Structure 1
Amino acid sequence: MEESLISKKELLELTKISYGQLYRWKRKKLIPEDWFIKKSSFTGQETFFPREKILERVEKIKNMKDDSSLDDLAQIFSPKLSDIKLTGKEILDRKILIKDVINICTTDENLEAVYSFYEILYMDVVQRCLMDGSISIEESKIVFETIKNNYNKYIEKNCEIVFVRKMGVGISMVLGLPNQIYFEKSAKLVMRLNINMCIEELKLKLKELF
């Protein structure tokens, strides 16, 4: 399915931001370079954006820019992972993850065990999938192993994790973006999750808590 686009003119009109603001946010890396899509039109060349992504990003920037510097926002929106480390107890006390998810993803029952941002991210992806209700607990373990073993190939790149089911058998994979996926009729795309979006939202959650 092709992504819906919005023109730069329509974006500026809808969001009530200026041309200067838009390109300042681009220079500050608040808006990814690859969201600026050049297309030929009857007037020459026009800039378009992925509609849902850019509208959501602009709204977030507008809501947060009064409380955070643009450099701080750039850190949040960057696909670079945080260097934060938390114990299992801190993760539970701050309601970042629920205990059942930690138990699914690790055999370490020691709540003083320390987890990196990577590990928290992987468990957060599992929690999102389970909360969505699209996959089972056993399938969530497949998702966890897939992202744990493969995300290192996509660090700081735009990517997603998908889960496909065929005749009751589930397969999970990490894919670079942009992409288009096509399956045979008997296979069903059960879950599709943008990992950079998960990183961004996890950073926001941690920023609010610390």
Structure 2
Amino acid sequence: MEEELISKKDLLDWTGISYGQLYRWKRKNLIPEEWFIRKSTFTGQETFFPKEQILTRIKKIQNMKDDLSLDDIADLLSPDQTSFAISHEKIVQQTLVSHYALLQYDAMRPQGEEYSFYDLIYLTVLDSLLLSGEIHVEEGKMAAQFLQDHTSFIKEGKYSLYLLRKLGVSFCLLIKNSESVYADKQTHIVFNADLDSIAEKLKITILSK
């Protein structure tokens, strides 16, 4: 199915932003270069955008620009978080997760190493699992280990984690672009989390500290 596009003129009309704002946000890398699609029309060359993606992105920028600088928003929206690192002390100081979740996660990794941004995502998932009261500690650690083992996929974005239980046996799935997930009657979906949403909330929290 071909992706629905929106013209630049319609985009500016729908969102109320100006031509100058649009291209300033492009220069700041808030809107990816590849979303500016040049196409031939009966009036000549026009610029189009992937409709759903650009409207979602502009809404996010508009919601955040009163509280954050454009550079901070660019950092927030960037998919590349490979250079980010945070110490154990700062996680505790900023109360990003519970002490108990941090204790359990520390048992799974080399001592003394700083935490990557992806570690924070997995810690947040583990914290949510432990607080839910739906799982055993070992199930939570299993889910965190599963995420660690699949970091290369998670970096691509648009993945959700599902923790399922069937006949007393727990297992995890990573599903990309999921809208609906169905399981047989013997399989219980214990927990699911949109990893991109967790990442975005974490970035906002970190930037606001």
Where does the alignment leave 5 or more consecutive residues of structure 1 unmatched?
Answer: 1-6, 34-46
3-state SS in 1 of match to 2:184 = coil
What is the CA–CA distance in structure 1 between the aligned matches of 2:128 and 2:16, rounded to whole Å? 32
8 Å CA contact 1:163–1:190 kept in 2: the answer is yes
Which position in structure 2 is the counterpart of 1:199?
A: 199
How many residue pairs get aligned? The number is 190
Tell me the TM-score normalised to structure 1 length.
0.68
Which position in structure 2 is the counterpart of 1:36?
A: none
8 Å CA contact 2:97–2:127 kept in 1: the answer is yes
What is the CA–CA distance in structure 1 between the aligned matches of 2:149 and 2:65, rounded to whole Å? 36
For residues 149-207 of structure 1, the C-alpha deviation after alignment (integer angstroms, 9 at most, x for no partner) is: 01212313311111111222211122222464321121122211111111111111111
Which position in structure 1 is the counterpart of 2:149?
A: 149
Q: Could you tell which deviates more after superposition, 132-141 or 94-103?
A: 132-141
Residues 22 and 175 of structure 1, relative CA distance in 2, 3 Å threshold: farther
Residues 68 and 105 of structure 1, relative CA distance in 2, 3 Å threshold: same
Partner AA of 1:99 in structure 2: H
Which position in structure 2 is the counterpart of 1:98?
A: 98
User: Residues 117-196 of structure 1 correspond to what in structure 2 (within 5 A)?
Assistant: 117-178=117-178, 180-196=180-196
What is the CA–CA distance in structure 1 between the aligned matches of 2:110 and 2:74, rounded to whole Å? 35
1:139 positional shift: 1.5
What is the CA–CA distance in structure 1 between the aligned matches of 2:111 and 2:93, rounded to whole Å? 11
User: Residues 74-113 of structure 1 correspond to what in structure 2 (within 5 A)?
Assistant: 74-81=74-81, 83-107=83-107, 113=113
What is the CA–CA distance in structure 2 between the aligned matches of 1:197 and 1:97, rounded to whole Å? 16
CA RMSD of aligned residues (A): 4.0
